[in-house]
Amino acid sequence: MNRSIAGEFSKLRGEPPLKYLAKANQMEAEGHDMIRFEIGQPDFDTPAVVKNEAKKALDEGFTHYVPTDGIPELKEAIQEDIEKTRGFKPDLDQIMVLPGAKPGLFFGIMATVQQGDEVIYQNPFYFTYDSMIGFLGAKKNQISLFEQDEFRMTPDQVQEKMSDETKLILLNSPQNPTGGVLNKNDVKAIAELAEEHNAYVLSDEIYSKMLYDGQTHYSPAYLDECKERTMIVDGFSKAYSMTGWRLGYIVAPKEIIHKIDLLFADVGSCTTSFVQKGGVSALHHGQSFVDSIMAKFAERRKAIVTGLNEVPGFSCIYPKGAFYVFPNISKTGMKSEALANYIIEEAKVCLLPGTAFGSQGEGFLRLSYASSLESIHEGIKRLKKAMEKVI
Ligand SMILES: Cc1ncc(COP(=O)(O)O)c(C=O)c1O
């Protein structure tokens, strides 16, 4: 199998929606006052307890190589957190610390899927999945998400797509880009289907601490405790506002962790030492921070959903998790990409067309509400004005 990136790499991978970000940056540089709804990162500072712990580690000279799979202190904190949030305690050799959730996704897919194997995942999707699956030459078997199902991938849809060819099911709940959340019955039924067909499950749970209205997160790992087929990918970027720290992890069967450990020893040696100390502090002392940002996100969610429903031609359901909304724009009669471009130019509001996340995003836009209430109100005002001109 050819996994070289020397040749056809750009044809194998997807194209992330970076051109919109670049356009907004350029317009900002030209002096336009842009409202930014395209960026998927919390706008809060990292909690002080986390920064202090990392600073202390630096001052104490904790600046050398550490074990490839992560420092024991962080692995133990992750073990405790998994027990608290998913209801089972993985062994330490089922846990591997990595520089972000993305490497967890990449290594998890890489360790289980070969060229020609089939992978089931959602459309619209987080573009990294599509890109990685394409890069590995695996077969893409996409499940369409529908607004009337609140953008949940239903067990019936999974059952219809499953075959003996299916090697891996990718789950993402809460989901980027729609904010859709799988309920307990969905998760249970999908985990059972995977077991029946002997497929792996990679569950991207990066937004699992970001749920609204008192919901609980359910992981498919309840069935095998990540001992046979389930892999959980999670990290610190979103819930602890640590995107630039690059810290995440994967929990998986031991033999998979062993393979990832060998590969990561070759390509990365280890995850940055003092950053991991910050991660320990986030897991031990970060809950009040998570609670406080979720209270803010809940307010913003209400403001943006209410506002979008007042924009001519738009309708928007409440997302159940994460910090994205996926308004339906089909009544405008415009295509997603044309509308996103019009809005950027006319309203100076940067957002993404639903199609940046796959064909099923046609008829939708994606906005991140990781920005202040003032920006949300101003953005909505501009959107209304721009849409009144064309509707
Ligand atoms: C669904 C999903 N998974 C993973 C990531 C990447 O997380 P990290 O910054 O930890 O690599 C993101 C970031 O946008 C995401 O939306």
Q: Dihedral, CA atoms, 61, 64, 66, 70, nearest 10 degrees?
A: 70
Is residue 172 within 6 Å of ligand 1 at its C-beta?
yes
Is residue 206 within 6 Å of ligand 1 at its C-beta?
yes
- Candidates 357, 367, 351, 368; CA nearest to 144 is 357
**Ligand 1 atom nearest to 322, measured from its CA:** 16
Q: State the pLDDT at residue 3.
A: 61
H or E segment and range at residue 168: strand 166-172
Query: How many angstroms is it from 67 CA to the middle of ligand 1?
Result: 24
**Ligand 1 atom nearest to 172, measured from its CA:** 1
Is residue 279 within 6 Å of ligand 1 at its C-beta?
no
For residue 6, how many other CB atoms are within 10 A of its CB? 6
Q: State the pLDDT at residue 5.
A: 72
- Could you tell me the mean pLDDT of each successive run of 10 residues in the chain, 391 residues long? 67 75 92 94 96 98 98 98 97 98 97 95 95 92 97 96 94 98 96 96 98 96 97 98 98 98 97 98 97 98 98 98 98 96 96 96 97 97 97 87
Tokens of 49: 């307890």
Q: State the pLDDT at residue 360.
A: 97
Q: What is the DSSP letter of 31?
A: T
Q: What is the DSSP string of 43-77?
A: -SPPPHHHHHHHHHHHHTT--S---TT--HHHHHH
- Candidates 181, 231, 237: which one to mutate for ligand 1, based on the most atoms within 8 Å of Cβ? 237
How far apart CA 337 and CA 333 sit, in angstroms, is 12
Q: What is the DSSP string of 260-299?
A: HHHHHHHHTSSS-HHHHHHHHHHHHH-HHHHHHHHHHHHH
Match 């320990």 to its residue by tokens: 280
Q: State the pLDDT at residue 391.
A: 87
Query: How many angstroms is it from 101 CA to the middle of ligand 1?
Result: 6
**Ligand 1 atom nearest to 104, measured from its CA:** 11
Q: What is the DSSP letter of 100?
A: S
Query: How many angstroms is it from 331 CA to the middle of ligand 1?
Result: 31
**Ligand 1 atom nearest to 204, measured from its CA:** 3
CA distances from 70 to 17, 96, 202, 257 (A): 32, 6, 20, 12
Q: State the pLDDT at residue 10.
A: 72
- Candidates 98, 129, 176: which one to mutate for ligand 1, based on the most atoms within 8 Å of Cβ? 176
Q: State the pLDDT at residue 4.
A: 67
Domains and CATH numbers, the chain: 9-45+288-385 (3.90.1150.10), 64-285 (3.40.640.10)
- Do 20 and 251 meet the contact criterion of CB atoms below 8 Å apart? no
- pTM for the model stands at 0.97
Tokens of 223: 């069935």
- Candidates 18, 128, 368: which one to mutate for ligand 1, based on the most atoms within 8 Å of Cβ? 128
How far apart CA 264 and CA 268 sit, in angstroms, is 5
- Candidates 280, 298, 277, 214; CA nearest to 64 is 277
Is residue 243 within 6 Å of ligand 1 at its C-beta?
yes
Backbone angles phi, psi at 169, to 5 degrees: -115, 130
Query: How many angstroms is it from 232 CA to the middle of ligand 1?
Result: 13
How far apart CA 37 and CA 370 sit, in angstroms, is 7
Is residue 235 within 6 Å of ligand 1 at its C-beta?
yes
How far apart CA 63 and CA 61 sit, in angstroms, is 5
- Do 239 and 210 meet the contact criterion of CB atoms below 8 Å apart? yes
Tokens of 64: 């050398």
- Do 74 and 276 meet the contact criterion of CB atoms below 8 Å apart? yes
